[in-house]
Structure 1
Amino acid sequence: MADRDVELLAIGAGPSNLALAVALEELAPDLARDSLIIERNKEVSWQPGMLFPEALSNTSFLKDLVTLRNPRSRFSFLNYLHATGRLDHFVNMGSLTPYRAEVADYLRWTARSLALVELQYGRQCVDIGPVWTGGTLTGWTTTLADGRTIGSRYLVLGTGRDIRIPEVLRAVDRDRVVHSTQYQKRIGGLRKDLPYRVVVVGGGQSAAELFYSVQIDLPECRPTMVMRSVGLNCYESSKFTNELFFPSFVDEFHASRPEARAQMLAEMRPTNYAGVAPGMMDSLYRQVYLDRLSGRSRLQMITMHDITSARDDGDEIVLELTDWRTGAIRELRTDLVLLGTGFSPQMPWAVRRLAERIGLSDVAVTRDYRLVVDRPSTAACYLHGVNEQTHGIADSLLSVMGNRANDILRDVLTGDHLDLTPVTAPAVAAT
């Protein structure tokens, strides 16, 4: 017996599960009262490492948790602005994209505004196991770090992807390696007056923001940006390709052949990965230009190089850089490595672990994001934000969250989860 039983348990109080909580409150109040969200942090915390004062969201404020599903919702970003007394100022700014710090505050406001769905903080999930009754999957048991357990019929995983740390850097001193998700906290603990040598790894938006911000946060540092690409490029952001981020495009993408999905993802990659927002690109180039004009030679960019090895040497890290054009090798010594390397394309650890517990060799989901279990089941598990290969490039973004919450809730309420015969769906390797 679990210490507590609920009908629906959602793990992680990020945007995905907050969108689900809003949908529950608006569309299924009875189920909402028997639903629980658990969050390991002490508050809703969205991209805390990258909440730079001037960082803008790349997504329109209209693509919030609910507006594309229900424009009249009290949980909209516009209502948040009204409730906090900032609507006039935001409208006067004349921008579709809010500051990232505003989005983070909107998510906290949404969590505080929930009236039916319970949200508990400081509850870390350490294990999830299936409950079998006579060979039928009938529920889930979630174990928390304090040893307590929560039983549920429905389980929704919204923990996000695992951070990506290049294999070559995993053996060096982790105190000197900082992923972008940890930047604000880790850099805030360093002395500001020391001439740190800093290497920023990556060629996308995160790396660009790290390179820009570290010059302000550590004013005496000497940053070097290392990337394997030929140089920084802006996001491809035409209004035509942006239509592939519409919630309505998910149906079209999901119905396509696997090889067609792969081609679409490859062609859409410059719209979301390995690109830099135009405003950041301009600011970054001005930094480099002024550095050259002043003669300081403080800033350096090394393009078309791979990091082929790394080692600790006393109080510094030594990186081996290989020029992929010529094969020439050089050493770069640094005090600190900042990683703008994003997130692993693999299924998150929690999902892979759960698949093992069920006995699945592959992770696959239905169109409504339900984990496919090849045995009879009256329970269901849903996966947020990790289904890019089957649901499109917008899957991890705010663009589809309100509609995805509606899809999941509809699947629960219509009883489509009552799978008494095995279900098949396009497989995604669980590696």
Structure 2
Amino acid sequence: MTTELPYDFIAIGLGPFNLGLACLAEPLGSRSLFLDRKAEFSWHPGMLLDGTTLQNPFLADLVSMADPTSRFSYLNYCKQQGRLYNYYIRENWYLSRQEFDRYCKWAAAQLDNLRYQHEVQEVWYDASLPGYVLAGVRGDTGEGFQYSCRKLVIGIGGVPHIPACCSPGDARQAVHTSAYLGSKKALQRCRSITVIGSGQSGAEVFQDLLEQAPQHGYQLNWVTRAPRFFQMENAKLTLELITPDYGRYFYGLGDGVKQQILDDQRSIYNGINQSLIERIYQTLDERQQQGLAGVRLLPNLALQQCRRDAAGGQWQLEFQHAQTGARYGHATDGLVFATGYRYQLPSFIEGIRQRIRWDAQGRYAPSPNWAVDHQDSEIYVQNVGLHSHGLTNPDLGLACWRNGRLLNELTGRDAYPCEARTTYQDFQPPADCGFVALGQGSASA
């Protein structure tokens, strides 16, 4: 089907970022549509483990940091569920993953412009609109669909990343944390399990397997190429790096400097929260006192080779120690990759590739307001600008600010203005601070 009039904008993909965009767009009266190939809203269903929490406070919901009065806020969700006092008394600053997923499903159920089981397969520009045409297939009926719009928002999430040293055939058999819950029972029938990767997801899977190791009797290893299992850095002044002010500063830096900074900031966006590290240490201590052997934590080991032995069914791994250079072989029955996600360009991009601006590495080259078309006014992207916008790109706490800026671009209405200043520190000396610029350094080029 084709709509008679083009939508003001269509968003492709329905994760928390685009769902928040839909919630904030709802009271503005714009004609918008949100398409997703899933059958319903779901947020990392393979990692909805008991006792796991978000790394952002509850105020980092879908709307509150842009509009605390929104009916889509988490506090209103609690009120509508009849549990506002329960939440108040519980004094829980951080939501569980399961609670956040339930909250998002509640918000999604109140919107009438979400279309599930709509897989976009083609997009092209139509100068007669002027605008874009999206075509695809409905997963529930097999029927085709076609919509047109003035502007696009691409919010396709990353795909699970398996290290390149695994062959394609072996990679298909590997367990990624994104599918952990569905693979858990099979893993726990193994004699040995190795978890590779030491971010928050890897820590959650390791803790879950560690707690239940006595019942199943498997040997458990946790391996990372990082020099240590590090805690997420969350000091107050450090957290000012996840603010609009810092995002604007970071955007203006040179590409080489940006990459150096991101490498240095891994403990902020790729660390483990303190409560989980403490739970892991406590469980390790309890298991030691109970006499449970067979648990190893190994930093500094970078995976070099990975293959599955078809005859024996074991994984044959080879690692190199990052500090000594020594190489080690390891065989394990169960293997879990906690190696994150990578962005993969959707195939429908080919139809509009020439209208998009790319950087030297073949990535989107977003404007400060996340437009990637040559006019900076038609095609916008969500959650694919770590290289350009830094920590402000993937953080849930900045999603409302970004969506407010996007809606200003999409509708021409600044309905959600941000505070004039969001930090106490200046990331570059302002003109009136008494620090006089003596020249342009190479680091800012």
Name the TM-score class by shorter chain.
0.7 to 0.9
| 1:278-311 deviation digits (Å, cap 9, x = unpaired) | 1111111222223333333121122221221122
| 1:68-120 deviation digits (Å, cap 9, x = unpaired) | 11111111111111111121111112221111111111111111122xx5111
User: Is contact 1:172–1:312 with CA below 8 Å preserved after alignment?
Assistant: no
**What is the CA RMSD across the aligned residues, in angstroms?**
2.7
1:428 aligns with none
1:204 matched to 2:199? The reply is yes
List aligned pairs for 1:45-64, cutoff 5 A: 45-64=42-61
Taking the aligned partners of 2:329 and 2:116, their CA distance within structure 1 comes to 45
Shift of 1:57: 0.9
Taking the aligned partners of 2:51 and 2:73, their CA distance within structure 1 comes to 23
The alignment's TM-score, normalised by the length of structure 2, stands at 0.82
Select the residue among 62, 65, 84 that pairs with 1:65: 62
2:397 aligns with 399
Shift of 1:139: 1.7
Distance 1:254 1:329, change over 3 A: closer
User: Is contact 2:190–2:333 with CA below 8 Å preserved after alignment?
Assistant: no
Select the residue among 278, 299, 305 that pairs with 1:303: 299
2:410 aligns with 412
Q: SS state of the match for residue 102, structure 1?
A: helix
Runs of 5+ unmatched residues, structure 2: 415-445
Taking the aligned partners of 2:413 and 2:347, their CA distance within structure 1 comes to 26
List aligned pairs for 1:24-423, cutoff 5 A: 24-26=25-27, 28-29=28-29, 31=30, 34-114=31-111, 117-125=112-120, 127-133=121-127, 138-144=131-137, 146=142, 147-171=144-168, 173-174=170-171, 176-188=173-185, 190=186, 194-216=189-211, 219-220=215-216, 221-273=218-270, 275-313=271-309, 314=311, 315-344=313-342, 348-349=345-346, 353=350, 356=353, 358=355, 360-362=357-359, 363-373=364-374, 380-414=378-412
Distance 1:240 1:106, change over 3 A: same
User: Is contact 2:132–2:149 with CA below 8 Å preserved after alignment?
Assistant: yes
Shift of 1:352: 6.2
1:421 aligns with none
Q: SS state of the match for residue 54, structure 1?
A: coil
Q: SS state of the match for residue 245, structure 1?
A: coil
Moved more, 67-76 or 289-298: 289-298
Task: Specify the code of the residue in structure 1 equivalent to 2:118.
Answer: R
Distance 1:191 1:397, change over 3 A: closer
Distance 1:354 1:390, change over 3 A: farther
Runs of 5+ unmatched residues, structure 1: 417-431
Matched-pair identity in %: 25
User: Is contact 1:201–1:339 with CA below 8 Å preserved after alignment?
Assistant: yes
User: Is contact 1:139–1:380 with CA below 8 Å preserved after alignment?
Assistant: no
Taking the aligned partners of 1:15 and 1:222, their CA distance within structure 2 comes to 36
Shift of 1:2: 4.6
Task: Specify the code of the residue in structure 2 equivalent to 1:154.
Answer: K
Q: SS state of the match for residue 59, structure 1?
A: strand
Shift of 1:327: 3.3
Taking the aligned partners of 2:191 and 2:226, their CA distance within structure 1 comes to 25
Task: Specify the code of the residue in structure 2 equivalent to 1:61.
Answer: F
Shift of 1:329: 2.7
Taking the aligned partners of 1:265 and 1:364, their CA distance within structure 2 comes to 17
2:427 aligns with none
Distance 1:359 1:394, change over 3 A: closer
Task: Specify the code of the residue in structure 1 equivalent to 2:234.
Answer: S
2:437 aligns with none
Shift of 1:321: 2.1
Taking the aligned partners of 1:354 and 1:88, their CA distance within structure 2 comes to 52
Distance 1:88 1:20, change over 3 A: same
Task: Specify the code of the residue in structure 1 equivalent to 2:132.
Answer: G
User: Is contact 2:8–2:32 with CA below 8 Å preserved after alignment?
Assistant: yes
| 1:230-265 deviation digits (Å, cap 9, x = unpaired) | 321111111001011123432233234444433443
Q: Give the length in aligned residue pairs.
A: 401
User: Is contact 1:370–1:380 with CA below 8 Å preserved after alignment?
Assistant: yes
2:443 aligns with none
